[in-house]
Amino acid sequence: MATEWYMSYGGVEVVNHSRMTTYLETVGSPLDDFSGCGCPSFTNEVLEELPYTTPDNAASPAPWYDADVPESAEFAGLMVLLGRVFKRS
């Protein structure tokens, strides 16, 4: 599945603007003009996931979170500004 606000590769989430928008509020961010996901109706419910809270939430951790790397809880995610979706032929 790929859009500008969500991408997965091999079943692993790579970009999720809904998750990132929540984490920017809970983890913090140096960004001062990020307006969030390009699609307000794109939420964790659409992906059938538990609500996003923080990357290290035990019930719904971020795919990159690793308890052995505490700094991974400070990462909010990747933001795609412009891109193309390539399909394998």
Through-space distance between the first and last CA atoms of the chain, rounded to whole angstroms: 16
Task: Say what the pLDDT of residue 58 is.
Answer: 93
4 vs 49, residue with greater confidence: 49
Task: Say what the pLDDT of residue 89 is.
Answer: 57
Please give the mean pLDDT across all residues of the chain: 80
1, pLDDT greater than 70: no
Question: Distance (Å, rounded) from C-alpha 84 to C-alpha 67?
Answer: 33
Q: Is 17 helix (H, G, I), strand (E, B) or coil?
A: helix
Question: Distance (Å, rounded) from C-alpha 61 to C-alpha 82?
Answer: 27
The answer to pTM > 0.85 is no
Q: What is the mean pLDDT of residues 63-78?
A: 92
Strand partners, 15: 7
> Hey, what are 18's tokens?
């809904």
pLDDT digits (tens, 9 = 90+) for 49-65: 888 999 999 999 999 99
Pair 56, 65: CB distance under 8 Å: yes
